[in-house]
Amino acid sequence: SHHKLRAKFPVDDRKVDPAFSRKQKIAEHRKSLPIASVEKRLGDEVRNNDILIIVGETGSGKTTQLPQFLFNAGFCRDGKTIGITQPRRVAAVTVAKRVAEECGVELGQRVGYSIRFEDVTSGSTRIKYMTDGLLLREALLDPYLSRYSVIIVDEAHERTVHTDVLLGLLKNVQKASLDARGFSEYFGGARAVHIQGRQFPVDIFYTHHAEPDYVDATLITILQIHLEERPGDILVFLTGQEEIESVERLVKERLQQLPEGSRKLLAAPIFSALPSEKQMRVFAPAPAGFRKVILATNIAETSVTIPGIRYVIDPGFVKARSYDPVKGMESLIIVPTSKAQALQRSGRAGREGPGKCFRLYPESEFEKLDDSTKPEIKRCNLANVILQLKALGVDDILGFDFMEKPSRASIVKSLEQLFLLGALTDECKLSDPVGHQMAQLPLDPIYSRALILASQFNCLEEMLITVAMLSVESIFYAPREKLEEARTAMKCFSCPEGDHLTLVNVYRASNEFLEKRTVGLSKEKNEKILRKWCKENFINSRSLRHARDVHSQIRGNVEQMGLRLASCGDDMLQFCRCLAASFFLNAALKQPEGTYRALASGQVVQIHPSSVLFRAKPECIVFNELVQTNHKYIRNITKIDYLWLAELAPQYYCMQN
Ligand code: ADP
Ligand code: MG
C-alpha cells in the first residue's frame, strides 16, 4: 500500500534525496560565482585569440569553472583535451575531485588529474588537471602538445620554474594574475580579460612586539579567536608538515585544559604530503556547533580556496627554495613572506563576509618586507630544467626566451653540473645514451645518473630502492615523547655503512613482512597490516607507501630503458662505491673538530642527529641533502673511502700528494 500512496502523491525528490539537494546546492554555487556572468564571453575570447590572459580574484572560479565553460563551448568536440596546469600537486588533485563532482562524473573519466607518480585519467578524459612539471615532461614526447585544444597555465603569477619554462615553450610552439602587464608584454600584447571579484573588508591586526616563538604565538591566537570571536573558521599559514603536525598536536593538548563546553574546535591540516583523502577534509564543513581551524602551508594562499574562513592567522613566514650558484648548493630555508603574499593571505578572510587577519609581527615589520616574491627560476638549481630543454631540442639555453632570465652564473653552474654527471658532451649537447636516458627519468639528474651507474655496478635493485626512499618525506617517525623507543626500533634496520643501506633494509623488511603475512588478503587488509607493522617499527607508513609507488613507477621506466636490474647481494662495498661514483658532487671530509667540509662548495656542515653515522663520524662521506636551520645539517649519508673519489670521478677529483 505504501507503493500506491507514493504513486498517487509523489514525494518531491528534492526534499528527501540528499544527493539531489547537494547537486542543487552545487549548481546554485556555480551560478553565484563572479566568473559565471562572463561564461559566453570567455568562450568567444578563447576561440578568437591564440593567447588570452585571465585575471581574477582568488575564489572567483577560474580554476574550477573555466575548463567546464570551454568543454561546454565545444573545445573538446574533436576528441582533444583541455589541460590545466597547477604548480602544486595538492591543487591538481583537490580541484580535479571537486570539478568531477560538479560535473557529476566519476574522477578519472571526463575529469581527471595526472601528477608525478600518479595518473588518474583515461581515454575519455577531456578536462585534465596536472602539475606544470608533468606537462613539461609530456612535451618531451609530444613537443606540439597536439592532444590539447587549450592549455590553461593556472597560477601563472606564482612563477614556479616549471611555469616559466612552460610559458617559454608555449610561446615557441605558438610562433605558430598579478602583473598582467608583464605577461601581456611577454606575449606581444596578448589580450587580457579581468573578472570582477568580490572582496569584503578585512581588519588587520599586528602584534606590539616581535614574537620570539611564532608557533606559540599562533597557538595563543587560535585559542583567543576560538574563545572570544563570533563563529567562523580559522585559517593558519605555517611553513611545513612538521610545524603543522606539531601545532595540530598542541591545539589538541590545550583544548583538553579548557572546560568541556569550550572544546568544540576541530583542527584540519593540509600540506602536499598529506594523503589526498585527508586533504579533502579541509573542505568539509565542521559539525554543528564546532569551529574549524585549518592548518595550511602556502597552498591555501591562492591554489585552493577553502570556504567558510572568517579569520586568518599569518605568522609571516614561508619555506622557500634557495640556491647558491657559486657553491652549487640548493637548500630549503624559512624566510619572511613578501608584501604581496601577506595581502593574499589576509584576503582569504574576506571571501564570504567581513573578516579579520592577525599578523603575528609588528606593523613596522610589514613595511620592511619585499614587495613580491622572486620567481623561483632565480633561486633554484636549473640542472633539471636545462636537461629537459636540451631534450626538447633547445640547445642555446643562454639565449632561450625566458620570461625572466636566470642569472648567467646559475645557468653556467647547472650546465657544468650536467657535464660532470655525463649528461652533456664537450660541445654542451645531450650525450648519447646517458643524457637522453637521464632526461627520460622523472627524477633529479643526480638520481637518474645514480640509476644508470648502478646498472653498471650490478646494484640497480638496491639503488632503485634508495632513490625511491629518498624521493619521499622522512621514512622514520620519531615522536618526541617516544624518542628512545624509536631509536631502538631504528637500530634493527641500521647499517654501519650508512643511511642509504639502512633505507634499503627498511624497504626489504617491509617486503618480507608483507610476503609472509598477506598471502591471499585483500588490498585493504594488506594496507592495514602494513600500517600496523610501520607503527610498531616507528616508520612513517604514508611515506613508505608513497616510496613503494615511486619504486614501481621508476622500475617500469628503467626496465623500458633496458637497464639491467641486478642485485649486489652481500657485496655492500660495491653499492657504496656506486654511491660514491653517483654522489661525488656531495662528498665531505671530516675536520679535526668533528664537523665536515663539503668538497665541492667548501661549506662547513654537520651530520644530522637522525643519521646512523651521527656518532661514528667516518673520515669521508657522501650525502644527499643539506638542511639549513641554525646549523647546516647534512642528511642521508654513507661512509666512503676518499681514494674512490679520484678513481670513480676523475672528471672532478685528482690525487695530490
Ligand atoms: P579561483 O581559481 O578563481 O581562485 P576556484 O575555481 O578555485 O577559484 O574556486 C571557485 C569557488 O569554488 C570558490 O568559492 C571555492 O570556495 C569553491 N570550491 C573550490 N573547490 C572546492 C571544494 N573542493 N569544495 C567546496 N568548494 C570548493
Ligand atoms: Mg585557482
The string of pLDDT tens digits covering residues 72-99 is: 999 999 999 999 999 999 999 999 999 9
Segment 515-532 shows an average pLDDT of 81
Handedness of CA 405, 408, 413, 416 (dihedral sign): positive
Sheet of 81-86, strands arranged across: 118-120, 111-115, 127-131, 81-86, 148-153
Distance 74 CA to ligand 2 centre (A): 22
How would you classify residue 104: left for phi > 0, otherwise alpha for psi between -120 and 50, otherwise beta?
left
CA–centroid distance, residue 36 to ligand 1 (Å): 13
279 lines ligand 1 (CB under 6 A): no
- Under the banding of pLDDT at 50, 70 and 90, the label for residue 203 is very high
What DSSP character marks residue 555? H
- Cβ–ligand 1 distance for 86 under 6 Å, the answer no
Strands 81-86 and 148-153 come out as parallel
Q: How far apart are CA 468 and CA 444, in angstroms?
A: 12
For residue 583, how many C-alpha atoms fall within 13 Å in the half-sphere facing its CB? 27
The CA distance from 103 to 46, in Å, is 21
Measured from the CB, is residue 59 less than 6 Å from ligand 1?
A: yes
Average pLDDT, the chain: 90
pLDDT the model gives residue 37: 92
Instruction: Please state the rounded mean pLDDT for residues 533-548.
Output: 90
**Spatial separation of the C-alpha atoms in residues 625 and 503, rounded to whole Å:** 15
Dist. CA 369 → ligand 2 center (Å): 25
Cell match 608513497: residue?
546
DSSP assignment of 172-234 equals HHH-----HHHHHHHTTS-EEEEE------EEEEE-SS--S-HHHHHHHHHHHHHHHSPS-EE
Q: Which ligand is nearest to the CA of 154?
A: 2
How many Å apart are CA 361 and CA 313, to the nearest integer?
A: 11
pLDDT at residue 122 is higher than 70: yes
Calculate how far, in angstroms, residue 302's C-alpha sits from the geometric centre of ligand 2. Answer: 6
CB 316 within 8 A of CB 361: yes
Q: Residue of the nearest CA to atom 10 in ligand 1?
A: 61
The predicted pLDDT at position 184 comes to 80
Residue 3 confidence (pLDDT): 44
Tell whether ligand 1 has an atom less than 6 A from the beta carbon of residue 62.
yes
Question: Model confidence over 28-55: pLDDT tens digits?
Answer: 999 999 999 999 999 999 999 989 999 9
Beta carbons of 635 and 571 less than 8 angstroms apart: no
Which pLDDT score is estimated for 2? 43
Candidate from 61-65, 206-210, 214-218, 300-304 with smallest mean pLDDT: 300-304
**pLDDT value of residue 176:** 59
Residue whose CB lies within 8 A of the most ligand 1 atoms, among 305, 306, 352, for a mutation test: 305
Say if CB 366 and CB 359 are below 8 A apart.
Answer: yes
Distance of alpha carbon 606 from alpha carbon 612, whole angstroms:
13
Q: What is the pTM of this model?
A: 0.79
Q: Report pLDDT for 524.
A: 81
Three cell numbers, residue 149: 585544444
Going 440 to 446 to 447 to 451, the CA torsion angle's sign is positive
Residue 206 in contact with residue 361, Cβ under 8 Å? yes
When mean pLDDT is compared across 39-43, 229-233, 378-382, 448-452, the lowest value belongs to 378-382
Contact 453, 577 (CB under 8 A): no
- Find out whether 130 and 144 touch, Cβ atoms under 8 Å: no
Contacts of residue 257, defined as CB under 8 A and 6 or more positions apart, other chains included, come to: none
More confident residue, 387 or 279: 387
**Closest protein CA for atom 25 of ligand 1:** 283
**Ligand 1 pocket mutation pick from 64, 84, 195 by most atoms within 8 angstroms of CB:** 64
Residue 121, SS3?
A: coil
- Nearest CA to 156 out of 138, 190, 135, 183 is that of 183
Question: Model ipTM?
Answer: 0.98
**What is d(CA 308, CA 65) in angstroms, rounded to the nearest whole number?**
20
Give 153 Cα–ligand 2 centroid separation in angstroms: 10
Q: Is pLDDT above 80 for 499?
A: yes
Ligand 2: centre distance to CA 60 (Å): 8
Of residues 194 and 220, more confidence is placed in: 220
> What are the cell numbers at 414?
647547472
CA atoms within 13 A on the CB side of 256: 5
> Of all protein residues, whose CA lies closest to atom 21 belonging to ligand 1?
98
Strand, coil or helix: 569 = coil
Q: Residue 172 has what DSSP assignment?
A: H
Percent of the chain with pLDDT over 90: 66
Distance 154 CA to ligand 2 centre (A): 7
The bound ligand whose nearest atom lies closest to the alpha carbon of 33 is 1
Pairing of strands 265-270, 291-296: parallel
CA distance 585 to 422: 13
**60 ligand 1 Cβ < 6 A:** yes
Tell me the three cell numbers of residue 602. Answer: 667548501
- Is residue 308 within 8 A of residue 292, CB to CB? The reply is yes
Measured at the CA of 261, the angle between CA 260 and CA 266, to 5 degrees, comes to 90
Cell numbers standing for residue 220: 595563543
With a 6 A CB cut-off, is 222 part of the ligand 1 pocket?
A: no
How many angstroms is it from 344 CA to the middle of ligand 2?
A: 13
pLDDT digits (tens, 9 = 90+) for 300-309: 888 788 889 9
The set of residues, in sequence order, having a beta carbon less than 8 Å from that of 198 and lying 6+ positions away, is 34, 57, 59, 60, 351
Which of 155, 165, 164, 162 minimizes the C-alpha distance to 54? Answer: 155
Are 438 and 430 spatial neighbours (Cβ–Cβ below 8 Å)?
Answer: no
pLDDT in tens, 141-181: 888 899 999 999 999 988 999 999 999 888 877 765 446 66
Q: Looking at residues 126-155, what average pLDDT do you find?
A: 93
What's residue 127's pLDDT? 98
Q: Is the distance from the beta carbon of residue 305 to the nearest atom of ligand 1 less than 6 Å?
A: yes
What is the rounded CA–CA span in Å between residue 626 and residue 417? Answer: 17
**Atom of ligand 1 at shortest range from CA of 98:** 23
